[in-house]
Amino acid sequence: MASRVPALAPHPAPKAPTLSARLFETRRQSIDLTETLSPEDMVVQAMDDASPTKWHLAHVTWFFETFILAKHLSGYRVFDERFNFCFNSYYESQGSRHPRARRGVLTRPGIYDVFSYRAHVDDALARMFAQSGEPEGEIARLVEIGINHEQQHQELLLTDILALFAANPLRPAYRKPKPAAVGRGEPPGVSWIEYPGGIHQIGHDGAGFAWDNEAPRHDALIHPFGLADRLVTNGEWLAFIEDGGYRTASLWLADGWATVQREGWQAPLYWEHRDDQWQAMSLEGQRPLEPAAPVCNVSYFEADAFARWSGKRLPTEFEWEIAAAALPVEGNDLGSGSLRPVPAGNPAPGVPRQMYGDVWEWTQSAYLPYPSYKPPEGAIGEYNGKFMVSQQVLRGASCATPHGHSRSTYRNFFYPQQRWQFAGLRLASDIS
């Protein structure tokens, strides 16, 4: 039975710590994420899309050195001039760089050299704040960008470690399973929430930090739609597999079907049928599949095919934003410590569950600029705008997204065939 969405009271934001405190807490968290890793774990690259842990740690440090310290701290000494070539990602304005697909051959500098690099840059940042006080103006803007940039790489660090460990025949665990990770259950029931059509304001309103791709705020015409109150589960995906979902061409977009045939997809990434049961590789090692948990590590092509099989569709990114706008930004993210998608909690009438955390949610929206969008000037303008083609938007957050990093207007984006990220889906429907 569908229910009308109720009006929810605004969720008060907690008092924020200082910008410098947030910066150093973010820097510390990156190191904390490496505590269970060996030096060997941190240098290997599982595939072209992934990067070694060591590269992530150095690249985010390069960001602070290149865009803040080298330009705004008098007398700053660059740690190593060669690092610009090694750890630049895609900033054409900053010169040539090491090929992305070959980051795993960077056995030098070693991991302890990278730790020294981080300490050198952190000391310089602390010295700059001691001289000038809390960041203001352009420096504050760059520090805020740097914090959010490093948080993105914290999530990538975890997704890339999972890809690496899944390729290892020993199936190592990033961390020991927590007791709460046990329990398989059955998929919980799903309810449908109806949203009225009309003209809605979409995009960031300018209060607080946002990426440039979340603006400008603009009007969008939305037709009435329904949204599932929870994410699609592993158990429901098993039914899709058993019904021939990966063998039925009519369910798939042409590029998706070609990818299925070429890659031999038969299940989500990291799923394996062994010992008469389905298992999935996770950051806690190889685990029995949990039917009630959200399906994860699926591509846009798979999400779209599942939606067709279900007689539904994926939501647009605008529909998702409308549904999420009045909700508190909380859920099973990195701060919860689960490091895996977990089953939905108890339902509340007319309120969608799992909008933040567990998995990023594929939408049917292409990653395109909003009306009147203009990328920022300078090197920072290379961050989002030049990627606005051939990709799909994901909304929400995942179990690996740092706490406080997401918001209702956040636009994540990946290519439709990619599935090594913590990505899943929720269904939507048209209302006549």
* Cα 179 to the center of its chain, rounded Å: 25
Please say whether the beta carbons of 109 and 86 come within 8 A. Answer: yes
Q: Shortest CA distance to 182 belongs to which of 342, 401, 399?
A: 342
Q: Under a CB-based contact definition with an 8 Å cutoff, are residues 289 and 280 in contact?
A: yes
Round to whole Å and give the CA distance between 47 and 35.
23
Question: Dihedral sign, CA of 366, 341, 267, 271?
Answer: positive
Which residues, 6 or more positions from 256, have their beta carbon under 8 angstroms from its beta carbon? Answer: 299, 300, 301, 302, 304, 305, 416, 417
| Confidence at residue 13, expressed as pLDDT on a 0 to 100 scale | 53
Structure tokens at 217: 């705020």
Residues paired with 281 in a beta bridge = 286
Q: Which single residue is written with the structure tokens 């103006």? A: 137
Let me know how long the chain is: 432
Residue 197, Cβ density class (10 Å: 0-12 exposed, 13-18 middle, ≥19 buried)? exposed
Q: Which contacts (CB < 8 Å, 24+ apart) does range 252-256 have?
A: 252/301, 252/304, 252/305, 252/308, 253/301, 253/304, 253/305, 255/301, 255/416, 255/417, 256/299, 256/300, 256/301, 256/302, 256/304, 256/305, 256/416, 256/417
CA distances from 54 to 44, 86, 91, 109, 161 (A): 9, 11, 19, 9, 11
Q: What pLDDT, in 10s, does the model give residues 68-100?
A: 999 999 999 999 999 999 999 988 888 899 999
398 vs 419: CA distance, rounded Å: 13
Q: pLDDT per position in the chain (432 positions), as tens? A: 344 433 444 555 556 689 999 999 999 999 999 999 999 999 999 999 999 999 999 999 999 999 999 999 999 999 999 999 999 998 888 889 999 999 999 999 999 999 999 999 999 999 999 999 999 999 999 999 999 999 999 999 999 999 999 999 999 999 998 765 444 566 678 999 999 999 999 999 999 999 999 999 999 999 999 999 999 999 999 999 999 999 999 999 999 999 999 999 999 999 999 888 999 999 999 999 999 999 999 999 999 999 999 999 999 999 999 999 999 999 999 999 999 999 999 999 999 999 999 999 999 999 999 999 999 887 787 778 889 999 999 999 999 999 999 999 999 999 999 999 999 999 999 998
Three-class DSSP category at 405: coil
Residues 6+ apart with CB under 8 A from 195: 5, 222, 224, 225, 226, 227, 319, 322, 323
What does the block give as tokens for 380? 């920072």
Instruction: Kindly state the tokens that stand for 38.
Output: 């060996």
Please name the amino acid found at residue 178: K
- Separation CA 168–CA 314 (nearest Å): 34
Choose among 95, 64, 65: nearest CA to 79.
65
